[in-house]
Chain A
Amino acid sequence: MKLLPKSAYHYNEYWKSIVKYNNWFIKLRFIAFVSLINFILAIKYFFRFELTDIQLYSFIIVTGFILAYNILFDRIKDQITDLNSKITPIHFSLLQILLDLFSLSILVYFTGGIETPLFMFFIFHMIIGSLILPSTIMYFIAGTMIIFFSSFSLLEYFEVIPHQSIVGLYKYELYNDLNFVIGFLFSFSFVVFVSIFLTSKIVHDLYSRESQLKLALDDLHSAEESKQKYIIAVVHELKSPITAMISNIELITGNYLGEVPDKIMDKALRAKERGIDAINSINSILHVSRFKLLNKIHKDEISLVKLFQKVINKYHDIASRKNIEIRIKNDDSIDKIIADEILLELAFSNIISNSIKYTPENGNIEIEYERKNDYLFISFSDDGIGIPKNELEKIFEEYFRASNAKKNKIEGTGTGLNIVKQIIDKHNGIIEVDSPSKLSSNNRPGVEFTVKLPIE
């Protein structure tokens, strides 16, 4: 028999929620056990109802039985999580519901059958069952349960089996009133079936909505994938002619074509350098596209001193043109970390180049890093134009640009910090931004980025 609702096929979230529900049921049942003990004590000592011996013993036995199987379930629950094994979490749910209904039926019988207030718990179980099991199975369970319940009530009415009421609960006995019995059974059955119908419908709608969302998300992922593959292909096309160009220039700079005058050599070296810059940018784009495509990073042991030196060297010329000083402060507490060197270089380069871009002449940029417990803390501060407080939250969103950046007519695409955040996230790190920074002065609030990376 297929236990799985149609809407849940191939749907991992569904299985996760079943396992969660199962664990939750076990917790609830421990609470039910404690409530039952209190119920027995309350009946006996507080309300002063008269319990017959058989009622008292049956309560105690059922309560003990519930505790026993719940302890067993609690022990085995961690083994029943595999949806491919013979006993799946859904079988486990079914078993729990059946045992609960069985225990409840005994309690119902000994607390007055049709007169007991405990019958409401039947409806409660039907709703919980409908959250997990397919509605056909729930209708079947409910039908069986109603037939049993009706048969017992009628057998009690015809006095074939003895009626067990709690003396003192009701003024008059009701089990021997046929109008009451029929009226009660009719409305009870109706409520049970309607509860199952409504709950199953809501659950079904919920799961199919989630499945649709998941499909939409998959579409989105595949679109992103095509985009990244396209970028990789295009960038490769660009790379080939540039590598050929550099190879030719290197024939000149390596004197393979004979000696060349210094003036020509200077220009050839400069051309080679710019060509290599282009190749480095292309490699960064390829690296990022690959990162976005596979969502994987390439971990190596890297040296922070070397990494920051590389980043600073890259921006030394542009920074000195604006007379911006880039300082680095560290306390030797850490140097080596495990990370994706190229992605981190890209992330830090992005932050530094932003700082240079948004810091006016004669400014300061300070990189500070230190180890605190198992984390590396890096702060990047500047005394540039800063970011308005209400926009700080948004700066990691793709294509977002701060209003003052646009007002000052500073060029940018708004993609940088989004990829920085993705890179840091992928390293299980956290990046935060604040403005003003610790370097702030009059009219120069500046920005401070703080990166927290776990040291593996």
Chain B
Amino acid sequence: MKLIALIDDDPDIIEASSLVLQSKGYEVVTANNPDDGYKIIKEKNPDLIILDVMMDEPDDGFFLAQKLRREKISTPILMYTSVSKTIGFDYGQSEMVPVDDFVEKPISPDELVAKVTKLLNN
């Protein structure tokens, strides 16, 4: 069974996303801040990381993603964001934002499942 680490500071988002992912047969471990998130990633070595871009600071998620990549952890990262192309912020793939894909909040269950499946199959 594939293991997904879900890191977000909003308990409702954690719960809703976990339910959706579990119903599709994934195992989910969660953390509600970047430090705990880093710990569970090190301990459990998940197959996919879902990371919220904004926790306490507007770029907490980016920092964690950069830290992981610096440590040569190449687990795919799916980033939750509430700012995106819709409002004109275009992240794009770069050194600055070393993640594999984005999902814009509110997260539609179908889109989440589609993106997770795609990243896990790559």
Contacts and interface: CB of A to CB of B under 8 A. Distances in A.
Contacts of B89: 290
B25 interface: no
Determine the interface band of chain B, counting residues with CB < 8 A from chain A: 20 to 34
Contacts of B106: 242-243, 246-247, 250, 275-276, 279
B82 A287 contact: no
A157 interface: no
B86 A256 contact: no
B86 A251 contact: no
Nearest to B58: A236
Determine the interface band of chain A, counting residues with CB < 8 A from chain B: 20 to 34
A290 B13 CA distance: 26
A276 B86 CA distance: 13
B23 interface: yes
B26 to A, nearest CB: 13
Contacts of A236: 54, 82-83
A387 to B, nearest CB: 32
A257 B20 CA distance: 10
Main secondary structure, interface of B, reads: helix
B95 interface: no
Interface string B2-18: 00000000101101110
A286 interface: yes
A442 interface: no
Contact of B16 (A240, A242, A247): A247
Interface in A229-246: 236, 239-240, 242-246
A240 B107 CA distance: 12
A247 B88 contact: no
Interface centre among B15, B82, B105, B106 (most CB of A within 10 A): B106
A162 interface: no
Interface of B: 10, 12-13, 15-17, 19-20, 23, 54, 82-83, 85-90, 105-110
Given A283-B87, A287-B87, A297-B88, 12 more contacts: A236-B83, A240-B82, A240-B105, A243-B13, A246-B106, A248-B16, A250-B108, A251-B20, A251-B109, A276-B106, A287-B86, A342-B87
